[in-house]
Structure 1
Amino acid sequence: MKMVWILAVSFLFFSHASCTNPGLKVRVTQKALEYGRQVGIQALQQKLRQIQIPDISGKTHVPVVGHVHYEISGMRISAFNLPGSAVGFYAGTGIKLSIDNAYIHITGHWRVKYLFISDSGSFDLSVSGLSISEVIAMTRDDTGRPAVHSAGCTANVGGLDIRFHGGASWLYNLFSSSLENPIRSSLIREICPKVSDAINGLERHLKTMKISSHVDKYAEIDYSLVNPIAITNTFMDLDFKGEFYNAAQHKEPPFSPPPVSLSKQADHMMYLGLSDFFANSAGFAYYGAGALHLNITDDMLPKHSPIRLNTSSFGNLIPQVEKLFPNMLMLMNLHAKQQPIMKATPNNITIEVWGAIDTFAILPNSSLAPLFVLDICASVSMKMAISQMKLAGSLKLSSKTSQWISTSKCGSLKLCQPTPEGESGCFSDCD
């Protein structure tokens, strides 16, 4: 007995330990289920209308009269209404769908034989008080895709009202009461398989669902499920990997996702939780792919900007620039020196970036002459909130450091000019 308890505790421990922190967490609430019910119930109604009711034949013994042989054929559902339905979470399993007071209208043909007398005609059958209860189990398959299957279905039929057309009423009244149980049993046998078929159709769709996609030529994102779907009586949590990869090579970053927690509120249909791992894995992937760089030229600046990206404009700040390269356009290459880092807290997001700006003069032959390099390290803090379906926030530059790259003895700005021999002649503002 002691060994059993040890094994049970060990199982619980390792089950908990094997849980992986997601980069992206989604919580689905009852409000989302209600929205989905409106769409899903219409699809289910169309599916149930496809029920094929097999022909029924038999004989029944009528007192005094004797045996009456009957055949019911060509039964077709002409109407299937589901006025009352409810959907909710089924803790630990999935979703429970309940349908009450459904109504079915069926048409068909009848034939009866009694002694040497035979007759035939058509009929209308109204089925009321139909109820269906279906539990849809939701889990994660081995590929990280969501999976669903039927975990239990029950169906019950209330009252049946048959109205015959054609033939002699005294004849079909002999067997009308004998049809109720066969038709009820046939409907009950056919309903649950149709519901399961609708669920299987969804499962086939889920098996083809993409769990990763290319963002652009530099990166792709993996959004497979990393944990089994957690389901309570009020919400469902889905843990997605939420990790960016370098498109050229899948390389894990040197950091792991932290735990993601969401509010217990259920005022909205869905809640989204993003950890800083989501953004940092993107920074790691793009930096590794060499994508974090940008060339800035004068034509990219607003036309009304008082500062232009040319040596004449920069000459007001650095006279040597205009002196060495008069009336020339400039190009700035902004690039990261290491991956940007985002740190998220409940009330604040901080982004730290390290980069450099290589500045060039564009010579008449379109070649570039290096001017100076500006190293930049900045920390930006953001506070965001959603108000009236709009994302709002404030931005604050927490800290900023920059320096001019220089190799001159006086430690100030160094300007370089190519010589006719192809070498660079350099001048500093202390020369």
Structure 2
Amino acid sequence: MKLLLLLALFIPATLSQSGEYNPELDGGTRGNPGIKARINQPGFDYFQSKITPLLEQQLRQAQIPPISQCLPQVGGCIQVSNLQVTNFQCPQSIRLHPAPPNQLVITIQNVGVSVTGNLNGQVTILQPIRLFGNIIANANQISITVGLSITRNQDGSPFVQVSRCNAVVRNLDIFIQNGGTLGDLANSNFRTQIGRKVRKMIPGQLCAKIPEIVNSKLNEQAQLIPQTIAFSFL
């Protein structure tokens, strides 16, 4: 026992003189690492297994805001409301890998989703005509890349923020159902134009939802990561 006490007094003094000892260890500054660990590929595979079902669930249950778009070609505007995900195709792959400095990159490949909503609006063809019916959109080969920066809260727990987001929609098909004669006319003449505009809007809508998912879900899980560990468990 006396030998251990002598070592406990002697080693810090020796390390301090050699410049290899951090004086903060005397008081134990919470939030600064006492032990550093390097996460290898199996560790990232584990995190990926936890993140994958979370992302799939959030994408499947996404609340899509109403869409309003004016079309000068037809002299009017359309509104799509009550948008709901009616079909969801799981991603072909979700990959997680590190990136400097202190970042994680999540790559989601080939998601498919079908969305329905209520169509309203008005166009002018000789005279104003009201739009109505249901609009159905099928989007395929959606890819999303999200960069996450990792910092620390005041209590030392990890805090994740979205640093960048990029989404690409390669295929999109839109058609109007139960829209009467005007709906049939739109399907025949304006389907491509409407689809092109909506395809440009989707990446922004997706990336606007990602920070909400990160803040409400990932950071909740990050708060549960233990900040201390007893020597008896080492």
Q: Same fold (TM over 0.5)?
A: yes
Query: In the alignment, what sits opposite 2:117?
Result: 108
Write 1 or 2 for the structure with the bigger share of helix: 2
Q: Percent identity?
A: 21
Cα pair distance change 1:119/1:196, threshold 3 Å: closer
Q: CA separation in 2, counterparts of 1:91 and 1:132?
A: 19
* Post-superposition CA distance 1:398-427 (Å, at most 9, x none): xxxxxxxxxxxxxxxxxxxxxxxxxxxxxx
Query: In the alignment, what sits opposite 1:83?
Result: 92
Report deviation, 1:106.
Answer: 0.8
Query: In the alignment, what sits opposite 1:203?
Result: 219
Match among 124, 134, 138 for residue 122 of structure 1: 134
Cα pair distance change 1:138/1:71, threshold 3 Å: closer
Report deviation, 1:60.
Answer: 3.2
Q: CA separation in 1, counterparts of 2:23 and 2:104?
A: 25
What is the alpha-carbon root mean square deviation over aligned residues?
A: 3.2
Q: Does 1:33 align with 2:48?
A: no
Match among 72, 93, 97 for residue 80 of structure 2: 72
Query: In the alignment, what sits opposite 2:147?
Result: 135
* Post-superposition CA distance 1:351-374 (Å, at most 9, x none): xxxxxxxxxxxxxxxxxxxxxxxx
C-alpha contact 1:110 1:122 (8 A) present in aligned 2: yes
Q: CA separation in 1, counterparts of 2:56 and 2:99?
A: 22
Q: CA separation in 1, counterparts of 2:222 and 2:186?
A: 54
Q: CA separation in 2, counterparts of 1:186 and 1:171?
A: 19
| DSSP 3-state at the match of 2:64 | coil
Q: Does 1:194 align with 2:209?
A: yes
Alignment of 1:1-400 (within 5 A): 24-48=35-59, 49-61=61-73, 67=75, 69-80=77-88, 81-111=90-120, 112-113=122-123, 114=125, 115=127, 117-166=129-178, 167-168=180-181, 169-201=184-216, 202-207=218-223, 211=227, 223=228, 242=229, 278=231
| DSSP 3-state at the match of 1:52 | coil
C-alpha contact 1:139 1:147 (8 A) present in aligned 2: yes
C-alpha contact 2:176 2:186 (8 A) present in aligned 1: no
Q: CA separation in 2, counterparts of 1:153 and 1:187?
A: 13
Q: CA separation in 2, counterparts of 1:31 and 1:205?
A: 19
C-alpha contact 1:60 1:175 (8 A) present in aligned 2: no
Report deviation, 1:161.
Answer: 0.6
Report deviation, 1:139.
Answer: 3.1
Question: Higher mean Cα deviation, 142-151 or 160-169?
Answer: 142-151
Counterpart of 2:132 in structure 1: which amino acid? S
* Runs of 4+ residues deviating >4 angstroms: 16-25, 207-210
Structure 1 residue runs without a partner (length 5+): 1-13, 212-222, 224-241, 245-277, 283-431
Cα pair distance change 1:70/1:149, threshold 3 Å: closer
Q: CA separation in 2, counterparts of 1:79 and 1:200?
A: 26
Cα pair distance change 1:195/1:155, threshold 3 Å: same
Report deviation, 1:75.
Answer: 2.2
Calculate the TM-score normalised by the size of structure 2. 0.69
* Post-superposition CA distance 1:141-160 (Å, at most 9, x none): 44322222222111122221
Write 1 or 2 for the structure with the bigger share of strand: 1
Q: CA separation in 2, counterparts of 1:53 and 1:163?
A: 19
Report deviation, 1:179.
Answer: 1.9
* Post-superposition CA distance 1:224-249 (Å, at most 9, x none): xxxxxxxxxxxxxxxxxx5x6xxxxx
Q: CA separation in 1, counterparts of 2:77 and 2:34?
A: 68
C-alpha contact 1:51 1:190 (8 A) present in aligned 2: no
C-alpha contact 2:175 2:187 (8 A) present in aligned 1: no
* Post-superposition CA distance 1:312-337 (Å, at most 9, x none): xxxxxxxxxxxxxxxxxxxxxxxxxx
Q: CA separation in 2, counterparts of 1:18 and 1:156?
A: 50
Q: CA separation in 1, counterparts of 2:24 and 2:104?
A: 23
| DSSP 3-state at the match of 2:72 | strand
Structure 2 residue runs without a partner (length 5+): 1-18, 26-31
Q: CA separation in 1, counterparts of 2:128 and 2:222?
A: 59
Q: CA separation in 1, counterparts of 2:223 and 2:163?
A: 18
Cα pair distance change 1:171/1:23, threshold 3 Å: closer
Number of corresponding residues: 199
* Post-superposition CA distance 1:232-280 (Å, at most 9, x none): xxxxxxxxxx5x6xxxxxxxxxxxxxxxxxxxxxxxxxxxxxxxxx46x
Cα pair distance change 1:19/1:127, threshold 3 Å: farther
C-alpha contact 1:44 1:195 (8 A) present in aligned 2: no
